């Protein structure tokens, strides 16, 4: 762990074994942090916030973020390799993520000294009123295993730009790359303790972090069970919270869509990252007039997909990141088949050459699914697409919105009317038209309904790490 600029083992001396999902073998050990370590990380962040960090100008903070972005570009190969080994992310994707990360730090580096308050009119004669924005203080960032570096960065970058100090709690399944990121931050010049990493199980140290009195904000990405626990705990201390939770996003294909582009887009939307993405387009809603031909094209497109070693650049589908997740996906598939779903592609465990013991699930497309079946309602978080036909625009919108989640949605159409009308009717934080997964640091991202509270990315996100303060000055007390 990295706490206050020092390497630390867990106070208990215990470790968590980390499995390489391609080989199925242990490749690293992560300190199993406990309450003492969590408290120590928050204390270190608090102390750092009172020292040199506090005296830096916003422009100086921005320069440190620019330094970090440069180091990520120079040394990103190592960050990428760590994610490939730790969570089975394909190298091609991991290298893209690293490039994206640098862009995040650059974006918020540029914003650091553009946090502006304002002087506003005031309804009392002669008074001066202005607002300033101040860093909240210690921020705890809790991150899942599916995209550790990126999902930590969406929090760390605006938090540091705002002048906060940070404790990151990575997933117990995916800590290695974030520990290395903290090391790079110190190399970039951030004072020790500004960015700390404490590792361990959420159930064991999460509560200590989210209830610690010195913590002012918790930024969480993960599932809705963890999210609810975090929100409840943070509420006890009236801490600010943002929650980025799961999804079951519809991808709607109309009969007037460019079918080839839609085949590409729909398969990429679910099968990239082996379906382990909150924004995965896991429900295909396809207009009945083209449903059979579209699904057949999709099956043909994916039939040749190469499962295998995530380090190889021609691999299309890597392993799932964790063993519990792998078992969970296979159980969901079995139940769906028992309930009448038909696997027109895949449907079971994959055993590619060299990865026979790895955590592979075949890319799977299920038909004979209705939107009330668990496979269509629950977030499976694997390479599993359900196909559901619809007849009218009305019905497409109704099925799309008939979900507890509301993270993202896609639609494929050549109709300008549909491209303009349908997004406004969908309950989702992001709607893509004739594209999917096109995310940007500049575009707010987050969910409706059970998909979360608040938005990350974009200029506004920095305000989630700032407290607004109103200052009211009476110019003279002479007549008081």
* CB nearer to ligand NAD: pick between 324 and 340: 324
Q: How far is the CB of 180 from ligand NAD (least distance, A)?
A: 17
Q: Which residues lie below 8 Å from residue 114, measured CB to CB, with a gap of 6+?
A: none
Query: How many chain residues bind ligand NAD (CB under 6 A)?
Result: 32
HSE toward the beta carbon, residue 93, CA cutoff 13 A: 24
Position among 69, 269, 278, 373 found at the interface with ligand NAD (CB under 6 A): 278
Can you read off the two tokens belonging to residue 406?
């509301």
Pick out residues in 406-425 that bind ligand NAD (CB under 6 A): 407
Q: In the window 449-478, what residues touch ligand NAD (CB under 6 A)?
A: 452
175 in contact with ligand NAD (CB under 6 A): no
142: contact with ligand NAD by CB under 6 A? yes
Q: Is 141 a catalytic residue?
A: no
247 vs 382, which CB is nearer to ligand NAD?
A: 247
The 333-372 site mask, x for binding ligand NAD (CB under 6 A), equals ----------------------------------------
Asked if residue 380 binds ligand NAD (CB under 6 A), the reply is no
The residue annotated as part of the active site, out of 83, 93, 106, 278, is: 278
Out of 19, 172, 244, 379, the active site residue is: 244
CB-CB neighbours of 475 under 10 Å: 8
Whether the Cβ atoms of residue 462 and residue 116 lie closer than 8 Å to each other: no
Q: Does residue 278 have an active-site annotation?
A: yes
Q: How far is the CB of 144 from ligand NAD (least distance, A)?
A: 3
> Does residue 10 bind ligand NAD (CB under 6 A)?
no
Q: Pick from 34, 76, 88, 144 the residue near ligand NAD by CB under 6 A.
A: 144
Instruction: Provide, rounded to whole angstroms, the least separation between the CB of residue 52 and ligand NAD.
Output: 29
Our measurement of the distance from residue 18's CA atom to the centroid of its chain's CA atoms, rounded to an integer in Å, reads 21
Contact region for ligand NAD (CB under 6 A) — 13-21, 224-232, 329-337, 420-428? 224-232
Site string for ligand NAD, 228-247 (x = CB under 6 A): -xx-------------xxxx
Q: CB-based burial of residue 111 (10 Å sphere; 0-12 exposed, 13-18 middle, 19+ buried)? A: buried
If one asks whether residue 41 binds ligand NAD (CB under 6 A), the answer comes out as no
In angstroms, the Cα distances linking 226 to 118, 206, 210, 243, 452 are 38, 9, 12, 10, 12
User: Using CB under 6 A as the criterion, which residues of the chain lie in contact with ligand NAD when the complex forms?
Assistant: 142-147, 151, 169, 171-172, 201-203, 206-207, 210, 221-223, 226, 229-230, 244-247, 278, 379, 381, 407, 447, 452
* Catalytic site positions: 244, 278
């Amino acid at each position: 762990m990295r706490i206050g600029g020092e390497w630390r083992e867990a106070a208990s001396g215990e470790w968590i074994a980390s499995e390489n999902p391609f080989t199925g073998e242990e490749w690293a050990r992560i300190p199993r942090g406990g309450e003492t370590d969590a408290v120590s990380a928050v204390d270190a962040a608090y102390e750092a916030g009172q020292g040199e960090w506090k005296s830096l100008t916003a422009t100086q903070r921005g320069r440190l973020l620019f330094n970090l972005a440069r180091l990520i570009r120079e040394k990103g190969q190592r960050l990428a390799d760590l994610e490939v080994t730790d969570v089975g992310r394909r190298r091609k994707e991991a290298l893209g993520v690293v490039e994206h990360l640098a862009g995040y730090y650059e974006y918020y580096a540029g914003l650091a000294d553009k946090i502006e308050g304002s002087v506003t009119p005031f309804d009392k004669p002669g008074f001066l009123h202005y607002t300033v924005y101040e860093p909240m203080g210690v921020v705890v960032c809790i991150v899942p295993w599916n995209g550790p570096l990126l999902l930590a960065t969406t929090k760390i970058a605006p938090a540091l730009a705002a002048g906060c100090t940070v404790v990151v709690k990575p997933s117990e399944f995916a800590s290695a790359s974030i520990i290395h990121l903290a090391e790079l931050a110190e190399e970039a010049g951030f004072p020790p303790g500004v960015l700390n990493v404490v590792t361990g199980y959420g159930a064991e140290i999460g509560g200590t972090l989210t209830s610690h009195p010195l913590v002012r904000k918790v930024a969480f990405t993960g599932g809705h069970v963890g999210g609810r626990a975090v929100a409840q705990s943070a509420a006890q201390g009236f801490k600010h919270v943002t929650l980025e939770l799961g999804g079951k996003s519809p991808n709607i294909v109309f009969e007037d869509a460019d079918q080839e582009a839609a085949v590409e887009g729909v398969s990429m939307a679910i099968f990239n990252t082996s379906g382990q993405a909150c924004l995965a387009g896991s429900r295909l809603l396809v207009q009945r007039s083209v449903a059979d031909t579209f699904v057949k094209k999709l099956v043909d497109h994916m039939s040749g997909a190469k499962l295998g070693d995530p380090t190889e650049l021609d691999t299309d589908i890597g392993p799932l990141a964790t063993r519990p997740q792998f078992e969970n996906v296979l159980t969901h598939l079995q139940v769906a088949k028992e309930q009448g779903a038909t696997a027109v592609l895949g449907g079971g465990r994959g055993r590619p050459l060299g990865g026979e013991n790895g955590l592979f699930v075949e890319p799977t497309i299920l038909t004979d699914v209705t939107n009330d079946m668990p496979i269509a309602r629950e977030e499976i978080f694997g390479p599993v697409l359900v196909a559901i036909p619809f007849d009218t625009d009305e019905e497409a919108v109704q099925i799309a919105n008939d979900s507890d989640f509301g993270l993202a949605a896609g639609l494929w159409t050549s109709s300008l009317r549909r491209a303009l009308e349908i997004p406004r009717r969908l309950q989702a934080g992001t709607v893509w038209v004739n594209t999917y997964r096109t995310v940007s640091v500049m575009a707010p991202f987050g969910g409706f309904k059970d998909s979360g509270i608040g938005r990350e990315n974009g200029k506004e996100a920095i305000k989630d790490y700032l407290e607004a303060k109103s200052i009211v000055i009476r110019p003279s007390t002479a007549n008081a």
